[in-house]
Structure 1
Amino acid sequence: MKFYPFVLTLLMLLSCGSQKQLTTARATSEKTKKMVNTESDKLDSIKMILDVKAGNHTIDSVLNNDVQRILDKLNGRLNSAQELALIMDMATKSRATFKKGINSSDILAKLIILDSFNTSQKRREEVYRMLKESVSTAKYQMFHYAAFFDPGVYRIPESAMPSIRSHFTPIIDSLSYLSNKYAGIAREARIVFVGYSDSTPVARSGQLYKELTGILNDDNPPQKLMNQLLSDLRAKEMVRNMKIVLGSNTEKFRNFNTLKVGYVAYGKGEEYPSPKITDYKSTDERRRIVLSYWTVLPQLEDL
């Protein structure tokens, strides 16, 4: 019969004398506290890397928030274990208090939880390694619209597919490397496209104007709003094509059917793409771009 570690702890505690039970409980609590301190430092180091990337705009707000939610959940688990260990410290200060807790099964239940936490350290360490590498190597790339879009449209023509494949394949190679390295962890590839536009007005006489006003349900929308919508539509078009390219490269991934893929696309309109560029102009091809960010993260719901 196979026994899990926490079941063995239960059997051992039930069979031991009170002094040995007390010693085991104290050792379990001490081990938990040491683990929590070590692992908290590792999560802090990941947070520092994340903050640097957010500060220099090499990770976008969506991925930043995704990683922060993961860190919050992991830190919450460590805090819970730490609190339980402190409760155990109080319960083991006197033999009488401890014996009462063991007899009522309250202390025993907490010990089993702590022991389960301690024995799952190896799994958590693998998640930390993945998260650190994912954040450290999270990449982004700038694409000029002219490489994909004809003037005055937000759909990528079929003739641009060879260019799309050549630009997107390196992204897929980067994703497959991380996904394959941590194939034993429930994981999600995150791909973000952020569209930008300059201040060039959409010609009222063109087909694009007609389509955008139809989407907005407004015959005379502000030009800034139209450029916002145009940047959003082009970002979403990039996602549509990324799905096509990824779908033809699934063989590069181990256990692709276990990999969750999340896409995000949004436009920022006439906002400046880079805070480091101070000489943007109203009509400026450096503003007619889409930025792509990508990485592979542990699945939040499975942590």
Structure 2
Amino acid sequence: MNVVSHIYHGTWRHPLSTKSQFDDLETWKDLTKTLEKGCFDALFLADIIGIDPAYKGSWDTYIEEGLQIPCNDTGALSAALIGCTENLGLTFTSSVLSEHPFSFARRISTMDRLSKGRIGWNIVTSVTNNAAQNFGLDGIVDHDERYRWAEEYVDIVYKLWEGSWDEGAVLNDRERGVYADKNKIHKIDHRSSRYKVMGPHLCSPSLQRTPVLYQAGSSKTGRDFAAKNAEGTFILYPGIEGARKGIAEQRALAASFGRRPEDLKLIQGFSFIVGSTEEEAWRKSKEIDEWDRVRPLLLLARLGLSRQA
């Protein structure tokens, strides 16, 4: 996340921490250089569009602890990092609540074009009333309704990315003065109670057309959505056997939607503490624990997350 406090809450106060420079592009440029040097595949940026439920009747604790507020736009950060990287994938989180699918599809296509096919999208539906209220709703809608919303949203962007421009639509024929073939560019004419999108897509196809899609839902509805749409899904299992069983189930779900099971990659969450020796790593771990703050951990516990998670 593009925040001061994430995962290890309170460590931003450490004398050597650069977390308070989260809004400085140089901080992220340094990180992406390290990731590229280490041959990482991608940088994945989580995001939120609203504060979690109030703690003791207010958001004061979130603000005082820097817990996910301030929280800057990860899409804007990813766009800025395109020119600072060469091979690193750039995946950012965007909620279906936060942007109309037409403008979002255009933004993704532009970023994917500029990055030469390195953009990913983590699809979320948002879970808090504050998120919904920030975008014109009275409160968060029912869980399954949010996923119906997401299904329509991705259906629209698929139509724009995959169906609006045929292969070979761009001619770039200077001699005849014809840039594109009018017969190979189409409206999508999507109509529903929620969205009306005429099209055509304003962007010619990018290298990927559709970005790499991620989803992290753990409910049955969320897992079905991931099995149908995602190329990568986030998992969090405490042991090897549980992970093996969960991965097999999720890949079987993908197969039930007509996909090849191996096309769905499952990504286990880990937090690494690195040292030149095991002793140094344990010393760093102890130091992190000493800087940890109790109040943010209590807030996360209210959301059903353990400290170990």
Task: Return the TM-score normalized by structure 2.
Answer: 0.27
The structure with the greater share of residues assigned to helix is 1
Taking CA–CA contacts closer than 8 Å with sequence separation of 6 or more, which of the two structures ends up with the larger relative contact order?
A: 1
What's the TM-score, normalizing by structure 1?
Answer: 0.27
Q: Which has the larger radius of gyration?
A: 1
